[in-house]
Amino acid sequence: MTRIGVNGSYPTGVNDMDYQIAFAATVATASFLFFMLIVHRT
């Protein structure tokens, strides 16, 4: 999965959407783990 298109321009289509979804999933997972850590600590 490369973020650069064949012509060297930055893609604004499917690759960008996949990147946003992956970033959102990573943030959501980190937030969930942090929340669980807080809950179990108290």
| pLDDT tens, residue by residue, 1-42 | 455 555 555 555 556 777 888 889 999 999 999 999 999 887
CA atoms of 24 and 31, how far apart (whole Å): 10
> Exposed e or buried b for every residue in 16-42, given b needs 16+ CB within 10 A?
eeeeeeeeeeeeeeeeeeeeeeeeeee
CA atoms of 40 and 38, how far apart (whole Å): 6
Residue 13 has a pLDDT of 59
Residue 39 has a pLDDT of 94
- pTM for this prediction: 0.51
